Structure 1
Amino acid sequence: MTATITSIAAASAAYVPPPAPVLVSTLPTGAGADVHVYRDTDGSLSSECTGCGEYAWTLRVTREFAQEHAGACRRRPRPLAA
Structure 2
Amino acid sequence: MTATVSSIAAASAAFVPPPAPVLVSTLPTGAGADVHVYRDADGFLSSECTGCGEYAWTLRVTREFAQEHAAACRRPRPLAA
Unaligned runs of 5+ in 1: none
Q: Percent identity?
A: 93
Q: Normalized against structure 1, the TM-score is what?
A: 0.84
- Runs of 4+ more than 6 Å apart: none
Q: Is the 8 A contact 2:31 2:77 kept in 1?
A: no
**Residues 10, 30 of structure 1: CA spacing in aligned structure 2 closer, same or farther, 3 A cutoff?**
same
**Residues 9, 76 of structure 1: CA spacing in aligned structure 2 closer, same or farther, 3 A cutoff?**
same
Q: Which deviates the most, 43-52 or 1-10? A: 1-10
User: Residue 26 of structure 2 aligns to a residue in which SS?
Assistant: strand
Q: CA RMSD in A?
A: 2.1
Larger Rg: 2
Distance, in Å, in 2 between the alignment partners of 1:32 and 1:64 is: 19
